[in-house]
Structure 1
Amino acid sequence: MNKRRPSTALLLPLLLLFLATAGEGCTTILVTKGATTDGSVMVSHSDDNDLMDQRILYIPARKFAPGAMRSVYCTAAAMGEFPQYNAFVYPRMVTAERGPGYDTGGPLSVPLGRIPQVAETYAYFDGSYGIMNEHQLMFGECTDGAKVSPEPEPGKRILYSAELSRIALERCRTAREAIRLIGELIETYGLYGTGETLPVADTEEGWVIEMAPSPEGTGGLWVAKKVPDGEIFVAANQFRIREVDPDDPDMMYSKNLHEVAQKHGWWKPEEGKLDWLKTVSLGEYNHPYYSLRRVWRVFSLVAPSKNFSPWVEDGYTREYPFSVKPDRKLSVRDVMRLHRDHYEGTEFDLTQGVAAGPFGYPDRFYGPYDGAGDVGDPSRKLDGAWERPLSVTYCGYVFVNQARGWLPAPIGGRMWLGLDKPSDTVFLPFHVGVNGLPRSVEVCDTTKFSRESAWWTINFLANYAGLKYSYMHKEIAALQEQLETAFLANLEIVERKALDLHRTDPAKARKFLTDFGERNTAETLAKWWDLAEELIVKYNDGLLTEGGRIGQPLGYPREWLETTSWPSGPTTYEQPKGK
């Protein structure tokens, strides 16, 4: 995801796009039912969006009259703000057409175009991109660089993956159905923006659809591949599909893919099967391992027996397969832990070294001298670079969705939502069969601090913990463990009750699940504030106050002191030689 607006040229050269963007991006994971401990299908996504619109909204189901049209809106998540369409970083959209969450007043968003509406749409959870609908269809997302990145243009290119995922959630129940619809929409109405990877899954199977704007200026290119059952897929701002096999029943792709690629010199038939990554992109771009290191890390954690190397020959490597079978099946908390990772225990451990400071702070702050990550031109060599972990300080929110086909959809579909950065958040459970989300989740303006906002609650403590991270993160992690373990235990009771209600009165089950989400969220946020206030007192002025003892000195670790000017500091009255 990239939010700073680049040049206004029709087809943006990658170099110009690099100059106007910063190192941002997302990580997304799909775990098939045969690879999970409970038989659910899981899709996760960290939306690393750098203070954009962090609201997670409930979009209600709606009915429409024959002949109705659906507006398609521009997004600042693709290439930055477009004032001419009232497409801004915040709010991401203003319209009465999507329910009360987006009907916030102010200048209405200007449609890029309209498409025929269906008679009835499904309810779903929405963020920067569509998340999950009431039938347990779910999406993840990550931005990828593409050889061309055109801006939106009514009549030629009106769709980006954000609206594509929303339209699919409004109209589809299965992953295959969603992919066919998205492909048809791209080919009919045109794709603008960056390249995109969207994991899409239902209760039975998981697919990955990847898309790139077409050099033709209209339409778009796309390819989709099924993730084999029993395996896990991960993408991190680089296309992951390689050979396009016309004979593979578990692949779909745009009907003009080969024709367009050959016409523009991106692929030649004599080369063999079309390599999607090489055809539509420049590999990993100008920040080596920005994407591939995260792919390696996830695969190395879930399948250590494969002995994947963190080092590869180039950005087109084939060292990491499309998906892998994990050494053991994954639980939902296992996937949460993947997103919380900073390469701890490896040679890339961001909690270690001088840059981590005296208290092991794992986040790094990007500047204009850093690579643009998923969109930079590979011809620009970097003076230096930070490792790019799964958990970053500029993450807006992260979720792990679960689709569980053995339960009625309103109960089976769960969104575990973590606001702000994964390492220091708590994953709150919400069922898709609700009447709405808590107001605290649906309100957040990142320019105005508010205790009413769940995002600001989590963000405040995550930022404060950076003052003495090695101390305070342990206390946050302990509360995470306590709360998330309790959520899982309590959900067994909650879902049994909801199932009983659903059998006789689905409306009562819906209200019950809505009330649970409201109550559980409020109680959790109260505990989060309690911990924040406790840590403010406990580590005030960098000292330790506990057990009746006030202001105990903690100081710096000796090994870190040795890297500073401390060893040569004033230990005598003598002037140092040479001064």
Structure 2
Amino acid sequence: MALVRGLVISILVFMIAIPASFGCTTFVVTDEASEDGSVFVGHTNDGFGTGLVANRIREDMVVFRHVPAKDHMEGAKRQVIYDPNSGGEFLGEASSSETESVVIGEIPEINHTYAYITGSYGIINEHQLMSGECTDYAKIHPSAEKDKRIFYSSELSNIALERCKTAREAVLLIGDLIETYGYYGTGETLIFADPEDAWVIEMCGGTPDGTGGYWAAQQITPGHVFVAANEFRIRELDYNDHHQLFSENLVDDAQKMGWYDPSDGPLDWAKVFGIGEYSHPYYSQSRVWRIMDILAPSLKLSPYVEGPFSKAYPFSVKPDSPVNTSESFSLFRDHYEGTVFDLTAAPAGGPFGDPYRVWGPFDLHDAPYEGELKPGSWARPISTDPCGYSYVCQGRKDLPAIIGGICWLGLSSPAETCYVPFYAGIYRLPTPYLHGSHWEFNLNSAFWPFELLQNWARFMYNQISPVIKAEQSRLESDALARQPDIEAKALELYKQNITEARMFLTAYTDQTAVDTINSWMNLTGKVIVTYRNGNYNDVRNKTIQNVGYPDWWYELSGYQYGPRVYDMEGLQSIPDVKYTGKVANVTGDPIAYISEYQT
């Protein structure tokens, strides 16, 4: 026992020094919790975004793929690709395919695989199976090893969309793959939802013999909303609860490793196998609180908790009112405005309420050890500037799957993006979404038009953000308004010829995406011209207005010590000079006046 425990601790200490690649937020709104019976699954990819190109994972890409449905020969093998963003390094030699992907193992292929859309993780398939993800810290983050630990959550999500039609099928498949082929890398939360059901599965590695892995899954209560943000969310496990599923060896192994004592009560998955929040207190839990509080303010949930494994926030909540599509988008656009964590507030938000922060030394994704108190951190918002992309998938049981399923996809930070509909039945993705790099400025890619405007908005955020939101609302409202007619036409074609229906949806998706990017580029040009050099430049009237700073900023920045009198030495010698923003008519000594009236 001592040897096993010592090995576990040494691996843990080594692995928590490796930063996780992502810091995502994910949620699901069940059909009974939505306004029109839709199921919504949301995901933000907040690690600067990665993508898959011809099965190759690239850290510098923001790209997406549409993987077509395929028939496979008897005895075919499905290659499993190593994910370098997993937090688990690759051990041993790796074979490479023609695309230079690292093939870490193979599993038997099935006769037929479904079409799906994927980015860093699987997104949605042609049967309206939807997925969301967030990374979690677990007690152990094992390295990848060929034919021993070959799966990370990214490949598991893709395989689930290739092979499954329902959320429960996806959870059972992933659990079996983890136990059979092993798991490496960070802990992970995956959401799977179909138009009638939703499940959460959480996973990690670290079995005593170094093979297999651990997983726990829980069904989301109909009529509820679930949220996860970089910390395991499943708690006590119960063999008799038919709403839960988990690996058979989980409880026994937890006892062997000294992590769990049955006398403590039911095994708490998050507490026994996880190590709490990313980086610092409230990094994860404040985002869970925020979404729950927005949707269910009647619960009066406190933004403050007693520790990393607090039970102050339930597994899921029933919203006070049904959630519609636009509201599901807005959940990702939050910076805690109006709350104790408000990132737009002074002084850190600056004179124009910029909600984004350059990371400080203690904002990085290093796991705090027990009892560690870091000197300081910024609040971690839901909409964050490192975000590569986000989406809200929509599934509807009253329509054929290829029409009912939509991925509303947005590039860059959610608060400054525009969500574009990608129907589940399309044959291909729009060209601008097939390429894009963080290191190469290219306005022909989907990423850079949105990233450019997001960065420009930070110069004068409280001035520019309303302009962005207005165009955002216009474009998204137009797309939502078009849905009934587009889907009625697609349904008419579907009844006659499914191929024609899919071609119609492909053409519509492509044109809408291109039109949205063009509209965004026009908006970017107008914003750059209008808000230039700290002024408001009225293009129509050819006038320039100095926006200026708020009085509190002048006071905080020492503006009152500028060249207002010739006797600068005398001015600077006066303690506690305040900025009044008023002009005074002074007779006699201006220093005496300032001493008497502005201190």
- Cα distance in 2, alignment partners of residues 317 and 537 from structure 1: 49
Q: Does 1:540 align with 2:532?
A: yes
Which aligned pairs between 1:34-433 and structure 2 lie closer than 5 A?
34-52=32-50, 53-79=61-87, 107-216=99-208, 217-284=210-277, 286-372=279-365, 375-433=367-425
Contact 1:22 1:368 in 2 (8 A): no
Alpha-carbon distance in 2 for matches of 1:23, 1:378: 22
Paired residue for 1:561, among 534, 554, 573? Answer: 554
1:327-367, CA deviations, whole angstroms, 9 ceiling, x for partnerless residues?
00101111110100000111211111122111111011214
Q: CA RMSD in A?
A: 2.0
The CA distance in 1 between the partners of 2:507 and 2:136, in whole Å, is: 39
Kindly state the Cα deviation for residue 569 of structure 1 after the two structures are TM-superposed: 2.2
User: Does the residue aligned with 1:560 lie in a helix, a strand or coil?
Assistant: helix
Change over 3 Å in CA distance of 1:146–1:71 after alignment to 2: same
Matching residue of 1:29: 27
The percentage of aligned residue pairs carrying the same residue is 45
**Aligned partners of 2:494 and 2:500 also within 8 Å:** yes
Cα distance in 2 for partners of 1:12, 1:47 equals: 30
Secondary structure at 1:29 match in 2 = strand
Per-residue Cα deviation, 1:495-543 (whole angstroms, up to 9, x for no partner): 0000000000111100100000111111111110101111111112122
SS at match of 1:352: coil
Q: Which residue of 2 aligns with 1:104?
A: none
Asked whether 1:522 is paired with 2:514, we answer yes
Q: Distance in 1 between matches of 2:504 and 2:365?
A: 46
Q: Displacement, 1:451?
A: 1.5
- What is the match of residue 501 of structure 1? 493
Q: Distance in 2 between matches of 1:241 and 1:466?
A: 37
CA distance in 1, matches of 2:526, 2:190: 41
Shift of 1:573: 1.3
Give the letter for the 1:249 counterpart: H
- The question of whether the paired residues in 1 share the 8 Å contact of 2:12 and 2:140 is answered with yes
What is the CA deviation profile of residues 78-136 of structure 1, one whole-angstrom value per residue up to 9, with x for unaligned ones? 1278698899xxxxxx967xxxxxxxxxx510200000011111000101111110000
Distance 1:423 1:85 in 2: 43
Q: Distance in 2 between matches of 1:152 and 1:405?
A: 39
2-side partners of 1:22 and 1:263: how far apart?
27
Deviations 1:13-71 (A, max 9, x none): 55544544279500000111110001011111001012543212111111111111011
Does structure 1 retain, via aligned residues, the 8 Å contact 2:237–2:269?
yes
The residue type paired with residue 113 of structure 2 is: T
Is this contact kept in 2: 1:54–1:455, CA < 8 A? yes
More displaced stretch, 124-133 vs 276-285: 276-285
Q: Distance in 2 between matches of 1:289 and 1:15?
A: 22
> Structure 1-normalised TM-score?
0.92
Q: 1:533 to 1:462 in 2, by over 3 A?
A: same
How far, CA to CA, are the matches of 1:445 and 1:177 in structure 2? 35
Question: Where in structure 1 are there 5+ consecutive unaligned residues?
Answer: 1-8, 88-93, 97-106
Q: Which amino acid aligns with 1:257?
A: L
- C-alpha deviation, 1:442, in angstroms: 1.5
Question: How many residues in Structure 1 have an aligned counterpart in Structure 2?
Answer: 554
Using the TM superposition, give the Cα deviation of residue 286 of structure 1 relative to its aligned residue in structure 2, in angstroms.
Answer: 4.7
Sort the Cα spacing of 1:85 and 1:505 in 2 relative to 1 into closer, same or farther, 3 A: farther
d(CA) in 2 for partners of 1:315, 1:500: 52
Shift in alpha-carbon separation, 1:465–1:81, aligned structure 2, 3 A? farther
Partner Cα separation in structure 1 for residue 180 and residue 507 of structure 2: 42
CA positional deviation for 1:464: 1.2
Q: Distance in 1 between matches of 2:429 and 2:63?
A: 11
Deviation of residue 432 (structure 1)?
0.6
Q: Does 1:472 align with 2:472?
A: no
Rg larger in structure: 2
